Amino acid sequence: MLYMVIERFKEGAAPGIYRRFCEKGRMMPEGLNYISSWIDVDLKMCWQVMETDDFTLLNRWIDNWRDLMDFEIVPVRTSAEVREMMQRANG
């Protein structure tokens, strides 16, 4: 399953976020896979696509970062998956 992770950096946290990332990496548990990410130009938000079959792994990963940012998790599908679903549904 794919998840869009919306991270909202706490005020002034960007330097600390990137310092920790450089020192410790993403700190993801095994079974949680990073796909890609985008960061706004003001360094206040990040959108990441993550993949896992176990949602609890996302919570374990978030625990490593929640002091520096707030999270919103949205289950998503690729546009190709939705197109296939619609084609099957419409015969």
pLDDT at 91 over 90: no
Look at residue 35 and tell me whether its pLDDT is greater than 90: yes
Both tokens of 89, joined, read 């549904």
Q: Average pLDDT of the chain? A: 96
Domain boundaries in the chain? 2-89
Dihedral sign (CA 46, 47, 49, 55): positive
CATH of 2-89, one of 3.30.70, 3.30.60, 2.60.120, 1.10.10: 3.30.70
The DSSP line for 14-83 is HHHHHHHHHHHTT-PPTT-EEEEEEE-TTSSEEEEEEE-S-HHHHHHHHHTTTTTEEEEEEEE--HHHHH
Q: What is the tens place of the pLDDT at every residue in 73-88? A: 999 999 999 999 999 9
pLDDT confidence of residue 90: 87
Inter-residue contact 69 to 7 (CB < 8 Å): yes
